[in-house]
Amino acid sequence: MGNHALYQDGGLDAPEIAAAIEQAIKPRQRSPIYWLIVSGAVLVAAIVLGTVLAINNFRERTLLSSERELENTLLLLTRHFDQQLRDWQVAQDDAVASVRALEAKTVKDYVRLISSDDFHRRLSNKVRALPYVGAVNFFDPDGKLVNSSEIWPVPDINVSDRSHFKALKYGAASLQLVVNPVHSRVTGTWTTVFARKLVSAKGEFVGMVSRGIEPSRFEAFFASLALGSDAAISMFHADGTMIARYPHVDSMIGRNFSNGPLFQGVLRHANYGSRLMVSPVTGQKQVGSVRKLEDFPIVIIATKTVDAALKDWYEQIRMLVLIAFSASMAVVLIVWFIVRRLMSQHQAARQRLMLEKQRLDTAVNNLKQGLLLFDANHRLVVVNRRYAEIFHLPRRDIAPGCSLRDIMELLRRRGMFKGDIESYCLNALNLASDSGSLTTEIPDGRIIHTNFQAISGGGWVSTFEDITERQRTEERIAHMARYDALTDLPNRTMFRDHLETMLRQSEPLAVLSIDVDEFKQVNDTLGHFVGDELLVAIAGRVSDCMEPGDLVARLGGDEFAIVRHGVRERADLIPLIERVHAAIRLPYSCVGHRLNVDASIGVAVSPCDGSELEGLLRNADLALYAAKGSGRRTYRFFEPEMQVRAQKRHDLEMEIRSALARQEFEVYYQPFVDIKTKTVLGAEALVRWRHPERGLISPADFIPIAEETGLIDQLGSWVLKTACHAAANWPERVRLAVNVSPVQFKGHTLALNVAAALGSSGLPANRLELEITEAVLIRDDEEALAILHELRGLGVRIALDDFGTGYSSLRYLQLFPFDKIKIDRCFISNINEPHGASHIVKAVVDIAAARNMTTTAEGVETAAQLDALRRLGCDQMQGYLFSPPQTEEALAHIVASAEHSIIKLH
């Protein structure tokens, strides 16, 4: 029982084994990936953090550098203006010294002397001798303007209300200089006033001397420093009032900014310094630096926006960020590739595990084949459900632990095996040791294919497959490869193999090559479905004519072939040929259509007509061509002359190709005339072949071959072009007629060739007539009509040639408005006989007249024929009565005259 439980379904739980293996390898496979990803993330984070720290460090350095730059600028400015203002003070010092030198005893005396004209001249001379310092003004103790270095007489101005005047008059005795930005009452603009106290020799307050400097004087110097568009330099009074600014902002001059960050944050503790701030003027974040002048209560501030200060820093961080990004991406890509590789390996390991799982699971239950697994003791270990299904066995009747003999006994009882069990078991053991296979047919008709495969450690595996359908499918495929799908007759392959086998046996035989006449018309008019039904019916009738040993095959299309064995004489084949012809000629009813067809048959007999496959088939085809050339609906035996004619035809085709290359063709012209006036109306171009050995060859000998081989297209284009060039030299009233073969309509280039010939020759389109036969319209009405309309669109005239022969139909005259109808010579030759064709000619002439068409009679050779045509009302004539075909030079002589009578030229 223990062994039985172990053997049942293999005793293996494949999903549990696969899961256990997967869990065992999972930590080991994922751990390197996890730590690799963590390491990559840490490295990327380090790059990002380092980049951020470097960016901040560069930023701080850049701002510090900007502060140092502003501080250096302010140091230069304060030193400059300290020195400049000291120089400007010289004029005031001289003015103060001049006042003290006056010989006056009272304040009024001082005022009188200061306000004199003489003092004004001396003051002006001194000021002009000094560098530009602006106007020097004197005010009396009451604040009234009494003298000026630039204005005389002085205007009535009083500054007693000014803070600087009050500070000098009422302030401490030690206060000698006051600097005050005010709105000037002299110039009307903001001015920085530098005021000095005037005292007498006794120390009495005599008045004030002042000078004013406008903001533009300071701003002009600020502009020369060129700190940049986002930088500004401002000059303030020590109390915070703005004196000057560059760039100049008029509304800010005179405003007090003592609450600004530089005044409050720097000047409260030191005379100079720098800091980051938000500008009280522009509201932008700026780097600012401030510094006081040493000798004057003036403060200079330089500022630059943070964006301008960090301009170079921005360029640096772009590069730094790019480098950091590239490094991070490189790390990410490297990690990604490594992870992908590890994941691929991990996936491959999982796939291998899953594959083992699937193999185990498939071996147990999911094989399409039945499976038996035997151990080294030849005891069954595993059996799957499919085995029981194949042999229609209950699953409980076959269990692991039994032997192969027990299984075969069970199959015999169930009717699934007939034969000797011992022999089968011995054979199976031999096949298992050699890993062989066995195909057997079981009693219910199915075919079972068994594979035996030895396994390591002893034992073997047998798989059982029901190949019944596959075998039948292969048989069907093999049948389709050798039999025609439509008629189920042997196809060309089987026909050739059979014939080649018979020829190797040197057995006399005959090959009958059969071609159904006019089968293409059935397909074209009634459709391929009707045509297929007709072929099936013909195949059945021909098969009914066969005798035992004969082979009938369909070679393709409407071609059939028969192989008749044991043929001694040709006469032995006549009854077979007659039976085949009689069977094919019986009427057919195909899809509601009643059809009548016939066939052409060519016969070749071995060995007299050929003992090799290709030669015999070729000769049968030559005989078939001879039968078709004899009017079809007949048969022909192969004759050696057929091969001679075929070879001649082939040689003639090669000669035509060479003649085209060597330009051996010539164009002759046969005139056609007006029957009433006897005037030459035109000429028809006729091609001739001047062979170097055989002389002038008639078109009847080479035109059919040229049409069959497609050479007519090249030849026709050459004739058309040559004739158009010749006709261009004829009188304007003389037309050119050129024949067009039905083959030329197949290429869809006829209209282009005609247009090219007219264009190169210069011949007017209305002088060209193209003559076509009814065969053009029979083959493809729609396509041919479309080409005819294209030609008519060029202005070319169209003539219907050989009307009344072949498959003539009045319908063609309704389909297309022809310009001319040419009456074939066969109707002209007997026109004067009692039972001749005069009534046919009369009918054609009347039809043409009713439809405004011209009629031309061909082949007129006698005056009596001409008289008859004149009486019947025919318009034109062409024939030897007037002129045979002429060379280009001879025709040029004929058409040179205005009119030519038939009698004269004949």
pLDDT at 809: 59
pLDDT at 169: 83
- For residue 514, the 8-state DSSP code is E
Distances (CA, A) of 222 to 219, 275, 371: 5, 21, 103
Encode 448-469: b = buried (16+ Cβ within 10 Å), e = exposed. bbbbbeeeeeebbbbbbbbbbe
pLDDT at residue 898 is higher than 50:
no
Q: Please, what sign has the CA dihedral across residues 112, 116, 118, 119? A: positive
Cα gap 858→752, rounded to integer Å = 29
What predicted TM-score, i.e. pTM, was given to this entire model?
Answer: 0.43
pLDDT at 473: 78
Please state which of the ranges 118-132, 603-617, 716-730 shows the lowest mean pLDDT.
118-132
Q: Which residues contact 781 (CB under 8 A, 6 or more apart)?
A: 815
Reported as type and span, the H/E element at residue 323 is helix 311-361
Q: pLDDT over 70 for what percent of the chain? A: 91
Provide DSSP, 190-214. Answer: EEEEEEEEEE-TT--EEEEEEEEE-
pLDDT at 343: 82
Q: Which domains does the chain have, with CATH numbers?
A: 102-213 (3.30.450.20), 367-472 (3.30.450.20), 483-638 (3.30.70.270), 651-905 (3.20.20.450)
Phi, psi of 610 (to 5 degrees): 140, 135
The closest of 690, 757, 760 to 719, measured between CA atoms, is 757
Distances (CA, A) of 289 to 78, 221, 230, 256: 12, 18, 15, 18
- Residue range 667-714, pLDDT digits in tens: 999 999 999 888 999 999 999 988 888 888 888 888 888 877 778 888
pLDDT at residue 814 is higher than 70:
yes
Length of the chain: 906
Q: Which residues contact 856 (CB under 8 A, 6 or more apart)?
A: 672, 799, 820, 821, 822, 823, 874, 875, 876, 877, 878
pLDDT at 217: 78
pLDDT at 601: 92
Q: What's the average model confidence in pLDDT over 164-184? A: 80
β partners of residue 454? 460
pLDDT at 362: 61
pLDDT band at residue 132 using 50, 70 and 90 as cut-offs: low
Using an 8 Å Cβ cutoff, are 853 and 876 in contact? Answer: no
Using an 8 Å Cβ cutoff, are 136 and 127 in contact? Answer: yes
Q: Which residues contact 683 (CB under 8 A, 6 or more apart)?
A: 669, 670, 671, 672, 727, 730, 734, 735, 736, 737, 886, 891, 895
* Burial zone of 231 (CB within 10 Å; 0-12 exposed, 13-18 middle, 19+ buried): buried
Cα gap 103→116, rounded to integer Å = 14
pLDDT at residue 563 is higher than 90:
yes
pLDDT at residue 564 is higher than 70:
yes
Q: Which residues contact 5 (CB under 8 A, 6 or more apart)?
A: 11
Using an 8 Å Cβ cutoff, are 304 and 66 in contact? Answer: yes
pLDDT at residue 899 is higher than 60:
no
Residue position matching structure tokens 């800091």:
275
Structure tokens at 129: 């001798």
Structure tokens at 299: 């403060």
Cα gap 626→397, rounded to integer Å = 75
Provide DSSP, 370-416. Answer: EEEEE-TTSBEEEE-HHHHHHTT--GGGS-TT-BHHHHHHHHHHTTS
Provide DSSP, 724-786. Answer: HHHHTTS-TT-EEEEE--GGGGTTS-HHHHHHHHHHHH---GGGEEEEE-THHHHH-HHHHHH
pLDDT at residue 484 is higher than 80:
yes
pLDDT at residue 117 is higher than 70:
yes
Q: What's the average model confidence in pLDDT over 42-47? A: 88
* Burial zone of 153 (CB within 10 Å; 0-12 exposed, 13-18 middle, 19+ buried): exposed
pLDDT at residue 610 is higher than 70:
yes
Q: Please, what sign has the CA dihedral across residues 43, 45, 49, 55? A: positive
- Residue range 486-544, pLDDT digits in tens: 888 999 999 999 988 888 888 889 999 999 987 877 877 788 888 899 999 999 999 99
pLDDT at 522: 83
Using an 8 Å Cβ cutoff, are 214 and 231 in contact? Answer: no
Using an 8 Å Cβ cutoff, are 211 and 240 in contact? Answer: no
pLDDT at residue 13 is higher than 50:
no
- The overall average pLDDT reported for the chain is 82
- Residue range 204-230, pLDDT digits in tens: 888 888 888 888 778 778 877 756 667
Cα gap 664→718, rounded to integer Å = 12
pLDDT at 734: 93
pLDDT at residue 110 is higher than 70:
yes
Structure tokens at 199: 């005292």
**Long-range contact set of residues 873-876: C-beta below 8 Å, sequence gap at least 24:** 873/842, 873/845, 873/846, 873/849, 874/675, 874/823, 874/841, 874/845, 875/674, 875/675, 876/672, 876/673, 876/674, 876/675, 876/681
pLDDT at 31: 62
pLDDT at residue 19 is higher than 90:
no
Q: Which residues contact 360 (CB under 8 A, 6 or more apart)?
A: 10, 12, 14, 17
Please indicate whether residue 93 or residue 145 has the higher confidence score (pLDDT). Answer: 145
pLDDT at residue 585 is higher than 50:
yes
Please state which of the ranges 298-302, 643-647, 654-658, 805-809 shows the lowest mean pLDDT.
805-809
* Burial zone of 420 (CB within 10 Å; 0-12 exposed, 13-18 middle, 19+ buried): exposed
pLDDT at 796: 95
Cα gap 18→23, rounded to integer Å = 9
pLDDT at 6: 30
Using an 8 Å Cβ cutoff, are 568 and 606 in contact? Answer: no
Q: What's the average model confidence in pLDDT over 645-649? A: 74
- Residue range 311-344, pLDDT digits in tens: 778 888 888 888 888 888 888 888 888 888 888 8
pLDDT at residue 590 is higher than 60:
yes
What is the radius of gyration, based on Cα positions, of the chain?
63
Cα gap 389→371, rounded to integer Å = 11
The closest of 404, 374, 309 to 65, measured between CA atoms, is 309
Cα gap 197→177, rounded to integer Å = 7
Cα gap 159→166, rounded to integer Å = 9
pLDDT at 805: 65
Cα gap 374→400, rounded to integer Å = 9
Using an 8 Å Cβ cutoff, are 291 and 74 in contact? Answer: yes
pLDDT at residue 25 is higher than 50:
no
Using an 8 Å Cβ cutoff, are 237 and 298 in contact? Answer: yes
Selection from 157-161, 260-264, 561-565 with the highest mean pLDDT = 561-565
